[in-house]
Structures are given as C-alpha cells and as structure tokens.
Amino acid sequence: MLIPCLCHRIHNSYQYIAGKNNQLQSLVKDVHRIAELCRIHADDIGAQCPQHVSTRWIYDYNICVFILKYENKIKQYINVDHDKIVQLKDCLAVLKKLILVFESDKALLANCYIWLRKAISALNLLTSNLHNAFGSILASSLDSYTLDSDFGGLWCLAFSLTPRGRFYFHRKFVKNEEVEDLADPLSSFQSEHIPDKDPAEDLQDIYMDSIFEEGNTNAVIDVTDEGTFRRIVESDDQLRLTLQDVREDNHQTAENDLTAAKDYLKRILVQFRLNERQKTLVLSLYNTFINKESDIFENDLMDEAQNYAWEEISHRIGEKSILAEIALRLLCSSPSEATCERNIKAQRLILNVRRLRSKKNLLNSRHILMATK
C-alpha cells in the first residue's frame, strides 16, 4: 500500500505556486536576493543569514524570520518590503508547522486529515481576515497537493477509521452538523509555536538528508566562524515537481471528503484482489460504520476510546476482518519519509541478529523502549 510523503507534498505545493504566481515569485526572488546580500555583510549585521536550500523543507521561512529580526541593519544595504515579508512569513509558518508535525516520530497518519484541513483553513483566514495577499493561493496549492490529489482519500479514510474520525465524519457529513475540531485554526500555526532548531540537530538532519536524497546532489557540511552550520549544495537536477496526481480544477471541497474516503477504500479493495461480493460487503460495512448513529465497534474501544482494537477485530470472520486489516495497515503507517527513516534506524538498533538472541524479557523491554522513545 503506497503512502506518499506529506512533507514532500507540502514543500512542492509551495515551490509550485512560488514559480507560477507572479507576485509571489517576485517576492521570493527578493527574499533570496536579500539573503545573499546579508551573507556578504554578515560581519556588519552581526549574524549569519540562512542560505536558501531547495532541498530543505520550507527554508524560506527561516530566511524571512532572519530578515525581520535584523531589518534595521539590512536596510543599510537594500530596501526591505516589511509588510510583504511579514505576510510571506505568516503563510510559511503554517507550512513549516505542518512539516514539523508530520516529521515527528510520534506523527500518526490518522491525524493528518485534521491537520491539513486546519492548515488550509488557516491560510484562507489569513487572506479573508488579515488581508494577506498569499494565504488563499497557498491554501489552494496545498489542497491540490494533498486532500484534493488522487491520494486525498487516503488521509480521509485513515482519519475516519478512528473513534474521533468516525464521530467527526458522522456529525459533519452525515448529519451536516458543525464540529469544533477546526475552531480557530490560526491559533495552531502561530510563529511562536515553531521552535528554533539547535545547530547540531540541523547538522544531523542535513547529513541524513544527504544519504536519502533523490537526484544527483552532493552535500558539503561547513562550519562558519560564528559556529553555525551551513550547507553548500551543488546539483545538476532541478527540483522535480510531480503533478500527475494533482487536479488543476481544485474541485474537491470539505463536503465530499467522505466520498473521497469511500473511493479510496474501493481502490484498496481492488489491490486486495477481492471478489465483487467481498468488496460490496466491506463497503456496506464501512457505510454502516459511518452512517449509523451508534458506533458498531463500540465494544471494541481501547485506550480510553482513542483507538479501536483493530488487531483483535482482524481475527474475526468476514468483512470485519478485511476492514480491520486495512485499518491496521493505514494506522501503523508514518506520514513522512523522514519519520520512516528514523523508525527504521531505531529498529536496526534493536532488531539485529545479536540482539534477537537476547532473552524474551530483555527483548520485550527493548521493544517497549523503542516504541516510547
């Protein structure tokens, strides 16, 4: 079952619209020009400006923060459009926070849907409430690359297979009621919620990226006189934007996310190579699961109603076991490539030939430590 990396898609949604929208493209070029000038005059400014790196997620956010912090000194060398850079920074803060959430080792595929909906709403609110010139176009691009893409139903389906998601989909799409999950979405994406990374951590991430990076890119790590880390990238490859599964008409709305979930479930059932009767039974079960007022898996709740016991349900006979198998595969998946890499790295520390010879109690303890780190 293919799970696309959300961090790639979020970053590509920004790169795509930054190259397509003339106003945003002009501002981004100005920001990069200011960044280069700041690096030349780093001694006079008293700090090293981050360098634009196309392979680092939403790195322009860091540059905007730097420019606004040292704006008075930078104005000695070049004009700074304060209002426009603030608007860009506020939009990029939303995308940056999303990536921080999805890169976390604790990130769950089941939570991606609500985070994406909140981010799209937050960007739209920046335009409608705060007259931000870039919020709505970035919201449209983010939607096209995520929930409105051919994989959009994946994140809708994963969310709906949790108790919280079933309640949300039933209330919002079946009963057409307002649900408070998206209340005040801007509060989740304030700049103060985005921590500054320790340079040593940033160096480790850059090193890991250089190992798993796509394309012919040679990364060189350098240490500046100020003790901060920078990366010099020499690449013959342009950033590749995968647009084959992005719909240009952007017609999907929140009202048919349930339809998207059902359509994606049908796609998964085709991959499972089930006969038509089995497919019909599973789809009927899912419809009943969402549409019925009472939860048909109410007796299978665990972890204080945060999850269903899908593992136990998968051992039953019939369509419930098939739906549970799909739920297990989705809910155990990571939303980003970086999370997968870190999980694999952690598992290699435990699941190697020497350690697997340990006594069962010791091996179980290591598994618990690995899962709770």
**pLDDT at residue 204, as a whole number:** 38
Q: How far apart are CA 228 and CA 201, in angstroms?
A: 11
Give the pLDDT band of residue 371 (cuts 50, 70, 90).
low
User: What value, to the nearest 5°, has the Cα angle with vertex 247 and ends 329 and 288?
Assistant: 45
pLDDT value at residue 347: 63
pTM of the model: 0.78
Instruction: Name the pLDDT band for 242 (thresholds 50, 70, 90).
Output: very low
How high is the pLDDT of residue 179?
73
Q: Round to whole Å and give the CA distance between 151 and 323.
A: 19
Q: What CA dihedral angle connects 178, 323, 284 and 252, to 10 degrees? A: 50
Is residue 146 within 8 A of residue 5, CB to CB? The reply is: no
Query: What CA–CA distance (Å, rounded) separates 34 from 69?
Result: 13
CB half-sphere exposure, 25, CA atoms < 13 A: 6
- What is the average per-residue pLDDT within 183-191? 73
Structure token digits, residue 282? 């599973």
DSSP state of 4: -
Cβ(114)–Cβ(212) below 8 Å: no
> At 56, is the pLDDT very low, low, confident or very high (cuts 50, 70, 90)?
confident
Distance CA 149, CA 146 (A): 5
Mean pLDDT of the chain: 81
Q: What angle do CA 155, 158, 164 make, to 5 degrees?
A: 110
CB-hemisphere CA count at 13 Å for 184?
3
Task: Confirm if 289 and 296 have CB atoms less than 8 A apart.
Answer: yes
pLDDT per residue as tens digits for the range 306-344: 799 999 999 999 999 999 999 999 998 889 887 777 666
Asked if residue 194 has pLDDT above 90, the reply is no
Region of poorest pLDDT, from 99-108, 173-182, 268-277: 173-182
**Which residues, in sequence order, are bridge partners of residue 301?**
308
Rounded to whole angstroms, the Cα distance separating 80 from 76 reads 10
Domain range list for the chain: 6-189
Nearest by Cα to 85 from 65, 99, 70, 56:
65
Q: Is 143 helix (H, G, I), strand (E, B) or coil?
A: helix
Task: Identify the band that residue 285 occupies on the pLDDT scale cut at 50, 70 and 90.
Answer: very high
Give the pLDDT score at 234.
Answer: 31
Of 3, 285, 303, nearest in space to 160 by CA: 285
Given a cut of 70, whether residue 171 has pLDDT beyond it is yes
User: Tens digits of per-residue pLDDT, 21-36?
Assistant: 999 999 999 999 999 9
